[in-house]
Structure 1
Amino acid sequence: MTWQLRRAHEHDLSAIMHLEVNIFENDAWSAPMMARDLGDPACYYLVAFPPDDPSNVEAYAGLLAPQGATEGDIQTIAVADSARGRGLGRVLMQALISEARKRGARLIFLEVRADNPGAQRLYERLGFIEVGVRRGYYQPDNVDAIVMRLNIPELESMLTSPTATVPV
């Protein structure tokens, strides 16, 4: 499967929120929180969709990395159940890592639910390492967050993917 990626904008909010509340249920972001990030120049959000159906947002991901800052943070990533297991999460993460590098970041952090081993494996395969735990971070479920860090690699070649295109 090939996906098209593009920068997310405020007009994508309803599609993003549809995925957000269905995937994250109890700890979903609110629409005002998501809208704030979509409009923040320090943030970089992407949506993914089939090339022949641009209105069908199957995934999104967001990065907080102010221009010139040495650190960034993966704010969120979500892939619809119907699109999982085909590399879309990896493609989105690679695109965010590339953008963080362009903005000057040398480290990226993220939190992942302790009860989400699939996401943990993805991040480990991308080079993230566990650096801490935030007890009870995900509420109201009281699930711990594993804090992970990536030292951003210099090689641009690791971030290319034949399964996605990102318009400039």
Structure 2
Amino acid sequence: MSTTVTLVPMTRAHIDLLLPHEREMFGTEAWSASSYRAELADTRLRHYVAAEDATGALLGWGGVMVVAESAEILTVGTVPAARRRGVGRLLLTALLAEAVRRGATEVFLEVRVDNDAALALYDGEGFARLGVRRGYYDAGRVDAVTMRKELPA
């Protein structure tokens, strides 16, 4: 895999590329193709990006929703072969920048309590842990950590 990573607006063409990874990575929480199509259609509130290598291969994707001054990171996924190369951080940085561009002053997210890599990323990016939502993931078997970050004005 090339070390060059480019962020591009996520399109419907990316959906077929990400779905096998979505199911593998998110299991019972995986989104469907129709869910992604609906998300991409709502450009007023939502913004999605995809990370590609120099050959155009999909490395990851992410989305944010902004309503008034609050943003929510909806999803961030890095394909297994591209992990530990900064792709997730690059996606998160782009989503946070878009939230600021759209006027958000704070951003929220939920992450599985057992997703150590994601927790480390969000902790490192200045997110504060607000609490735990019991049974939020995997049909009630896995808790979620709720997190918040203030954004610059």
TM superposition score normalised by structure 2? 0.93
Tell me which of 43, 47, 67 is aligned to 1:44. 47
1:6 aligned residue: 8
Instruction: Quote the Cα distance in structure 2 between the aligned partners of 1:30 and 1:71.
Output: 25
Instruction: Report how far residue 34 of structure 1 moved.
Output: 1.6
What is the match of residue 31 of structure 2? 29
Partner of 1:103: 102
What letter matches 2:17 in structure 1? A
Counterpart contact for 2:134–2:140, Cα < 8 Å: no
Segments of 4+ moved more than 3 angstroms: none
Aligned pairs, how many?
Answer: 150
Q: What runs of 5+ residues in structure 1 fail to find an aligned partner?
A: 155-168
Q: Note the aligned Cα RMSD (angstroms).
A: 1.3
- Residue by residue over 1:28-77, the C-alpha shift from the partner in whole angstroms, topping out at 9 and shown as x without a partner, is 112221211111111111111112x12x11100111114xx100000001
Give the structure, 1 or 2, with the largest relative contact order (CA under 8 Å, sep 6 or more).
1
- Under a length normalisation based on structure 1, what TM-score does the superposition of the two structures give? 0.85
Q: Kindly, what percent of the aligned residue pairs are identical?
A: 37
Stretch of structure 1 that moved more, 142-151 or 26-35: 26-35
SS in 2 for 1:20: helix
Spell out the pairing of 1:3-152 with structure 2 (5 A cutoff). 3-41=5-43, 42-51=45-54, 53-54=55-56, 56-66=57-67, 69-140=68-139, 142-152=141-151
Write the letter of the residue equivalent to 2:58: V
